[in-house]
């Protein structure tokens, strides 16, 4: 291929150095390089020309030299960098749309509108409990709208949780980019995984969309490692969206999909918001307001050839949720295609007649309005004669006792959280280290019939009693939750393992029975009885906890507990202050 003509007088070394110094610290250049606090998140020579002696200035200088020496070949290798530099300094015309891959992309995936899509957290999948975000691009081709999804992800479909945590936090997993028809992604999250989708239309110019399109090819051709805590769908999208305007600084700690949604709103680029509700969410809302659920279920499940004759009193109010339940039953294989069509035919006429009650999403479920997912917690605790001050750092989480609105389930996620205590003499010790804690209290419904669960992996006192030695432990519990208005009653139980000692065997059974109730949007209370069965005895703990939600992000609370041990009973009182950001 012909060499590129010299860059006039600007290509001498001193001027290239001056250009690099001026441009290297601009926000768009840092986004193109995927820098976090000045450090590259894609540390390999395929992506960084100056690696391993990287700096933003050295990378920009190397890019200018590559354009000078290789011309169109360099432009097709780094089309986004080339396009941006052409708008910053005087360069010969290098048309990146002539690059074969980009020309094919333009012909198949028109890009006239950009949207950020957030899939709600999944209460049944550990890898998805923080939600997922991806891009939607759309435009017209031959008079038809074409929609595609652009997603960065890794394979996390495994029941081997320790292996998943090790690879996603320490060694890294293979990061994958995909460009797929949007309806496939929508079906995956909305139907297969039953997660609500939030769509945010982003104000962009044609030049900005071309820059994003070109940058996607730079990423597709790079070797990317997925890390759950430092290079995930949120961090990748933050850098991509940084090409259309500077976002607020990345949060201290982990960046999550909700953080990207919030920062995009702060940037003022969101011009329209839509939410698409999963069928199970619609059905759950009906379950909270209906008493004749078994009648509804048997009516839709019948396999007879007789058409469904719905009671107009409940169809008029709930036709949207009934049709959603019909779809859900068909997706789960609980009714035949013929039964589905029969039900749909019976419900469709009611749609035009009915004055449906609007199904409103609780504002607390909106990612924009949610609390931060990094927590700092301080606690003063008196356990028997022992007083301690505890400090807990939770890099990414949402906790059971913080405000969660009137959502479908009360959930908790805690990852890699150390708790350090100081006694009255100022002596510090590691009180507990929670590797993974996930709780999902999903209200039982005769229609959906979901299970509640609790998974705990960590190091510390199994019961919280000061005489209970610290050990590594893991437990898994299953059960049910019943919702009555603002109150949830739950019962879960299951097996566990702990590191053994001379007197304690590794196996135990744990059960939790309790009540969780919400006092509007101001406070939350919990009463729980926890019981362990092990060879050294059957300790138990009765605990009452209450938290008040102050201004956004601040909570205060108290907790009182009584511990029953084979040799000693003891009481505990704690006062807490927590901040999420």
Residues contacting residue 214 through CB under 8 Å, at least 6 positions apart: 79, 80, 82, 83, 96, 102
Distance CA 5, CA 11 (A): 10
Distance CA 153, CA 176 (A): 5
Nearest one of 382, 339, 396 to 573, comparing CA atoms = 382
Compute φ and ψ for 139, nearest 5 degrees.
Answer: 180, 175
Residues contacting residue 114 through CB under 8 Å, at least 6 positions apart: 135, 136, 137, 201, 202, 204, 209, 212, 244
- pTM equals 0.86
Q: Are 469 and 150 in contact (CB under 8 A)?
A: no
Distance CA 390, CA 431 (A): 8
Peptide bond into 52 cis (omega under 30): yes
Distance CA 295, CA 212 (A): 52
Provide the token pair at 95.
Answer: 């048309």
Give the HSE-up count for residue 387: Cα atoms under 13 Å, Cβ half-sphere: 5
CA dihedral of 563, 566, 567, 569, whole degrees rounded to 10: 20
Distance CA 404, CA 364 (A): 6
Provide the token pair at 39.
Answer: 């450090």
Distance CA 453, CA 317 (A): 32
Q: Are 442 and 427 in contact (CB under 8 A)?
A: no
Instruction: Render each residue's pLDDT in the chain as its tens digit; 581 residues.
Output: 334 444 444 445 566 667 777 888 899 999 999 998 888 999 888 899 999 899 999 999 999 889 888 889 999 999 999 999 998 887 778 888 889 988 888 888 999 999 999 998 876 666 677 889 999 999 998 889 999 999 998 877 776 777 777 887 888 888 888 889 999 999 999 999 889 999 999 999 999 999 999 999 899 888 888 888 888 899 999 999 999 887 887 777 788 899 999 999 999 999 999 999 888 888 877 666 555 566 667 666 665 545 455 555 544 446 777 788 888 888 888 888 888 888 888 777 555 443 344 445 666 678 888 888 889 999 999 988 889 999 999 988 888 998 887 667 898 989 889 999 998 888 999 999 999 899 999 998 888 888 999 999 999 998 887 778 889 999 999 999 999 889 999 999 999 999 988 778 899 999 999 999 999 889 999 999 999 998 777 889 999 999 999 987 899 999 999 998 766 788 999 999 999 98
Distance CA 581, CA 374 (A): 5
Query: Three-state SS for 103?
Result: helix
Rounded to a whole number of angstroms, the distance between the first and last alpha carbons of the chain is 53
Exposed (0-12), middle (13-18) or buried (19+): which is 140, by Cβ within 10 Å? Answer: exposed
Compute φ and ψ for 237, nearest 5 degrees.
Answer: -65, -35
Compute φ and ψ for 528, nearest 5 degrees.
Answer: -135, 140
Distance CA 366, CA 261 (A): 10
Nearest one of 110, 116, 112 to 273, comparing CA atoms = 116
């Amino acid at each position: 291929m012909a060499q590129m003509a010299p860059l006039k007088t600007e290509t001498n070394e001193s001027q290239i150095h001056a250009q690099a110094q001026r441009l290297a610290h601009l926000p768009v250049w840092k986004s193109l390089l995927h820098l976090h606090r000045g450090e590259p998140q894609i540390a390999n020579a395929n992506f960084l020309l100056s690696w391993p002696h990287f700096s933003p200035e050295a990378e920009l200088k190397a890019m200018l030299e590559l354009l000078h020496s290789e011309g169109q070949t360099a432009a097709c290798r780094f089309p986004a960098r080339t396009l941006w530099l052409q708008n910053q300094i005087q360069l010969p015309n290098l048309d990146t749309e002539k690059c074969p891959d980009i020309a094919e992309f333009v012909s198949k995936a028109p890009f006239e509108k950009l949207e950020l899509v957030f899939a709600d957290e999944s209460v049944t999948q550990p890898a998805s409990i923080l939600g997922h975000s991806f891009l939607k691009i759309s435009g017209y081709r031959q008079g038809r709208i074409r929609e595609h999804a652009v997603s960065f992800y890794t394979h996390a479909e495994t029941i081997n949780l320790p292996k998943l945590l090790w690879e996603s936090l320490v060694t890294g997993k293979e990061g994958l980019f995909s460009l797929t028809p949007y309806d496939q992604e929508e079906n995956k999250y909305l139907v297969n995984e039953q997660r609500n989708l939030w769509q945010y239309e982003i104000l962009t110019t044609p030049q900005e969309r071309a820059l994003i399109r070109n940058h996607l090819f730079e990423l597709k051709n790079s070797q990317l490692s997925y890390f759950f805590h430092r290079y995930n769908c949120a961090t990748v999208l933050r850098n991509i969206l940084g090409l259309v305007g500077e976002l607020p600084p990345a949060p201290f700690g982990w960046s999550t999909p909700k953080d990207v949604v919030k920062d995009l709103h702060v940037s003022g680029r969101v011009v329209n918001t839509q939410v698409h509700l999963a069928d199970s969410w619609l059905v759950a809302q009906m379950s909270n307001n209906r008493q004749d659920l078994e009648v509804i279920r048997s009516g839709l499940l019948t396999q007879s050839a007789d058409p469904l004759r719905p009671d107009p009193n409940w169809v008029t109010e709930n036709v949207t949720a009934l049709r959603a339940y019909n779809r859900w039953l068909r997706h789960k294989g609980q009714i035949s295609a013929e039964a589905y069509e029969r039900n749909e035919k019976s419900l469709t006429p009611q749609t035009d007649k009915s004055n449906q009650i609007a199904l409103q999403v609780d504002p607390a479920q909106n990612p924009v309005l949610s609390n931060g997912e990094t927590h700092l917690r301080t606690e003063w605790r008196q356990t028997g004669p022992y007083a301690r001050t505890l400090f807990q750092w939770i890099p990414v989480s949402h906790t059971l006792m913080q405000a969660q609105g009137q959502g479908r389930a009360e959930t908790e996620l805690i990852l890699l959280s150390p708790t350090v205590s100081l006694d009255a003499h100022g002596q510090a010790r590691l009180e507990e280290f929670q590797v993974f804690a996930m709780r999902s209290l999903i209200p039982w419904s005769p229609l959906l019939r979901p299970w509640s669960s609790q998974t705990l992996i960590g190091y510390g006192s199994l019961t919280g009693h000061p005489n209970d030695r610290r050990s590594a432990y893991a437990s898994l519990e299953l059960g049910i939750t019943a919702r009555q208005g603002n109150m949830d009653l739950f019962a879960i139980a299951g097996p566990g393992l702990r590191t053994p000692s001379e007197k304690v065997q590794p196996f135990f059974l744990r059960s939790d029975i309790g009540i969780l109730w919400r006092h509007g949007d101001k406070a939350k209370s919990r009463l729980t009885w926890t019981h362990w069965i092990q060879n050294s005895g059957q300790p138990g703990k009765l605990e009452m906890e209450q938290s008040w939600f102050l201004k956004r992000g601040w909570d205060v609370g108290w907790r009182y507990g009584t511990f029953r041990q084979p040799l000693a009973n003891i009481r505990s009182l704690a006062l807490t202050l927590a901040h999420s950001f």
